[in-house]
Structure 1
Amino acid sequence: QFDPLKVDPYMGDYEGEYLAVGRDPVPADAKVIAEGSDTYRVMISTKAVHDVFWSPRIEITGRRTKEGMQLEGDSSGLTWEGQIKDGSMVARVRSRYGGTFALHHVLRESPTAGLKPPKGAIVLLPFEEGATPDMSEWDNSTWKSLADGSMQVGEGDNHTKREFGDVRLHLEFCIPYEPEGRGQDRGNSGVYFQDRYEPQVLDSYGLIPRAGDCGAIYEIAVPPVNACLPPLSWQTYDIVFRAPRFTDKGDQSEFPWITVELNGVKLHERQWITHSTVGGKEGFVAKGPFRLQDHGHPVRYRNIWAQELNIQQ
């Protein structure tokens, strides 16, 4: 049930070319986003190339049929039509003057998926393909240990039994396929540092990034680009967190900061956090647990490890 191509053979990324009369082919890519009831949002654009005569970027509709997917819609002042079948996409201008996208389906992966913990790291959720993971580092036994090596969200949030200050965290997550959902009701979870500061986990594939989307520090910092993979893909967070600082008298003297990479793309670098995010505990502490959020969606996690740090600046 977790093979993306078996669940939905159309959803995901495509690469290829844009072809126009009398011009060299221009590299292009597309994203196909499932929206339920056999309908899809299809975003197609050319990649930045020096001296490109025109850089089309269109958004049209896909409708699933017995023969494949039919594409249609008006975008950029033109009427488009086409189809997706057997992993190939063709979208053309409905006009004698031409203009055609020809692309094929590709599977993108995070470059840090499966990253091994360094020497001395604390393994919070070990990962071995085909083996149920040991969940003894976590305090919520209602979460499910699955045979694919992952842990699935259960009833209530899940905290680590250990607490951390300065830390590097590697974590992998898989968003469920929920095409009928919209906004925050689509594969929602979250990773809280010190039970207070949340990098968001959400199905934000194909969206313009906002402060509540995947890769955001929730309602504090918007990701500059959308680095998300399609749902059912294994995605990665690689995060460095510097805890708040305190004086000898125990007064908080510096805010925490966080550096966030999603699927190998750096989204935030030393982003200061001046308050807890929504749903986080109030106040500043030197150490606190990680918390994985239950937001009512069967998000899965695997290969979680933490490396304690002593950041001097």
Structure 2
Amino acid sequence: MIKPLLMAICVLAATPAFAQADDPARDPTKTEVWKPVPATVATPANAAPSDAIVLFNGKDVSAWESETGGPVPWSVANGTLTVVPGSKGIRTRQDFCDIQLHVEWRAPTATKGFDGQHRGNSGIFLQELYELQVLDSYNNPTYANGQAGSLYKQAMPLVNASRRPGEWQAYDIIWKAPRFSPGGGLTSPARITVLHNGVLVQDDTVLSGKTEYIGAPSYAPHGCAPLYLQEHNSKVSYRNIWVRKL
């Protein structure tokens, strides 16, 4: 009697499985999406993705101009673009809204006599208005919402991932531009995610408005705009700058 009983139990246990296989609602292909097929993007080692816009490749600065509209006033040598103190900032000739941006930068090694905001200071401005701080923050105390990786005067970084001055550092940025209604009202604030040397320092941070040195940030309606690199009296260098439109 034991064997027939075991067989009966096995048959009953298998019945739901057979029923599910015959049930169209349990068909796994019902949840498969085949189109549209995502575009293929090549990602060669140590190079920009194939669909990226290369803004600086170590030699060519044709994608940039001075903030005054003239030629780039910074020096280009040995594959790097270096700020000339006392000159002007530079901006891209092309406008951008939502982007993925990769920028490598290096603070100068000559730090004697400089500290705080006077050491390796520059900045990356999204849409010319919103600053991601560039600063030598390696053993260099300053206000937390003004150190490297901060949204200047708005959001301090989650951690300080800075390398020593003279070492190359990298920012990988996801930028979502603010949206405005036809009447000029803010419908969606700007948001940013930043990895500093591969470490998350801004996690989908919501901005309260454009960067202000004095006073609270606020929004005014605008469209897509250039990227801007700041000249702040320090010989900060840049290389391998590329952007992908999102």
Residues 92-139 of structure 1 deviation map (CA, whole Å, 9 limit, x = unaligned): xxxxxxxxxxxxxxxxxxxxxx84211211110013xxxxx1001110
RMSD: 1.9
What are the equivalent positions in structure 2 for 1:1-313 lying under 5 Å apart? Answer: 115-127=46-58, 133-140=59-66, 141-146=72-77, 148-154=78-84, 155-177=87-109, 178-207=111-140, 210-278=144-212, 283-309=220-246
1:157 partner amino acid: G
In the alignment, is the contact (CA less than 8 A) between 2:133 and 2:148 conserved in 1? yes
Whole-Å separation in 1 of the counterparts to 2:107 and 2:164:
8
So what's the TM-score if we normalise by structure 1? 0.58
- Judging changes above 3 Å, is the alpha-carbon distance between structure 1 residues 281 and 188 closer, same or farther for their aligned structure 2 residues? farther
Q: How many residues align?
A: 190
Which of structures 1 and 2 has the larger relative contact order (alpha carbons within 8 angstroms, sep 6+)? 2
Opposite residue 81 of structure 2, the aligned amino acid is: M
Secondary structure of the residue that 1:184 maps to in structure 2? helix
Structure 1 segments (4+ residues) deviating >2 Å? 206-209, 246-252, 278-286
Which of the two has higher C-alpha Rg?
Answer: 2
1:197-253 residue CA offsets vs partner (Å, 9 max, x unmatched): 111111110246711101111011111211000000000000000001133555331
- Please state how far the C-alpha of 1:305 moved relative to its aligned partner: 0.4
Higher strand share: 1
In structure 1, how many angstroms separate the alpha carbons of the residues matched to 2:107 and 2:52? Answer: 26
Give, in angstroms, the shift of residue 284 of structure 1: 3.6
Distance 1:281 1:137, change over 3 A: farther
Percent identity between the aligned chains? 37
TM-score by length of 2: 0.73
Cα pair 1:153 1:297 within 8 Å, conserved: yes
> Could you tell me how far apart the structure 2 residues matched to 1:283 and 1:247 are?
11
Q: Which runs of 5+ in 2 are unaligned?
A: 1-44, 67-71
CA contact (8 A) 1:211 1:221 kept: yes
**1:66-117 deviations in whole A, cap 9, x for unaligned?**
xxxxxxxxxxxxxxxxxxxxxxxxxxxxxxxxxxxxxxxxxxxxxxxx8421
